[in-house]
Amino acid sequence: MNSCLLCEKPLDDQPTWHQFLGIAQSAFICPVCLEKFERIDSTMKVDHLDSVHSLYAYNEQAREYLHQFKFLQDIALATVFSKDLRSVLKDPKKIIVPIPMHPANKKKRTFSQVDALLDAADIPYQELLQKTTESVMGEKTRSERLAMTELFTAPADIRSNGTIYVLVDDIYTTGTTLQHAARTLKQAGAKQVEAVTLFRSTGKK
C-alpha cells in the first residue's frame, strides 16, 4: 500500500468524496493532508505583470510542503499539484517560462523546484531567463527585496507578435522576483506577461 508523501500514513484504497468530485490527489497525499491546503485561486495585476494567478494560500501546510520539497530535497512531492497546474497552464498558445535558479544554487539543491513541478505535470516550457545573482528571496527582508537590482537576463529571442508568456514560480510573496522577470521579458520584446504561482503569501514579510 502506498503512503501519503506528507504524513507517511498509509493511503486508504477506499474512494472518498474528494475522488467522486474529481479533486483528489489520492495517489500522492491523503485527504487529511489535502484539506489543510487553502485553495484561493487569487488573480491580480501588478506593475509589469498583466496578471498573477495563485492557486493556494501560503499557510502552515504549504510552508511544511515547500520545506520538505525544496530544502529536504523530496522531489517526489513535485507530483502533488500536477493536476492543479495542468488546469491553469493548459493553453498551448501561451509559452510557459519557469523562474530559474542560479546555477550555483541549483547545484547545491540538485534540482530546480519549478522545473520539477512542470516536469511532473508534463507541462512543456521554455527556459528563456537566466538568474544573475545567487541571492535567495526567502532570506531577505521585504525592503531588501524591493531594493534589489536586476535579477535576470533574457539571452533567448523573445517574440513580440502577440505571444503571451506565463511565468511560473512556487510562491508569490512581495512579487519582486516575478516583477523583475516580467520586466526583463518585456524589455526583450514581450508584449504580454502573465504569472502562475502555486502559493501566495497573504502576510507582510
pTM: 0.86
Higher pLDDT among residues 150 and 55, named by residue? 55
| Ramachandran quadrant class, 133 (left: phi over 0; alpha: psi -120 to 50; beta: rest) | beta
Higher pLDDT among residues 161 and 130, named by residue? 130
Higher pLDDT among residues 38 and 202, named by residue? 38
**Locus of grid cell 532570506:** 139
Q: Residue 111 CA to chain centroid, in angstroms? A: 14
Length of the chain: 205
Higher pLDDT among residues 146 and 59, named by residue? 59
The yes-or-no verdict on residue 73 having pLDDT over 60 is yes
Cβ-proximal residues to 25 (8 Å cutoff; 6+ apart), any chain? 34, 80, 81, 83
Question: pLDDT tens-digit profile of 4-53?
Answer: 899 998 886 555 555 555 544 446 888 899 999 999 999 999 989 999 99
pLDDT band at 65 (very low <50, low <70, confident <90, very high): very high
Q: Provide mean pLDDT across the span 107-113.
A: 88
Q: Provide mean pLDDT across the span 54-80.
A: 95
Q: Could you tell me the domains of the chain? A: 1-35 (no CATH), 37-200 (3.40.50)
Question: pLDDT tens-digit profile of 77-103?
Answer: 999 999 999 999 999 999 999 999 998
Question: pLDDT tens-digit profile of 124-143?
Answer: 999 999 999 876 655 555 56
Q: Provide mean pLDDT across the span 70-74.
A: 92
Angle at 21 between CA 17 and CA 22, to 5 degrees: 115
Q: Hey, how many other C-beta atoms are within 10 angstroms of the C-beta on 153?
A: 14
Distance CA 69, CA 197 (A): 15
- Beta strands (DSSP E) in the chain are 39-46, 49-57, 95-98, 130-131, 152-153, 164-172, 192-200
Distance CA 47, CA 43 (A): 14
Cβ-proximal residues to 22 (8 Å cutoff; 6+ apart), any chain? none
Backbone φ and ψ of 113, nearest 5°: -65, -35
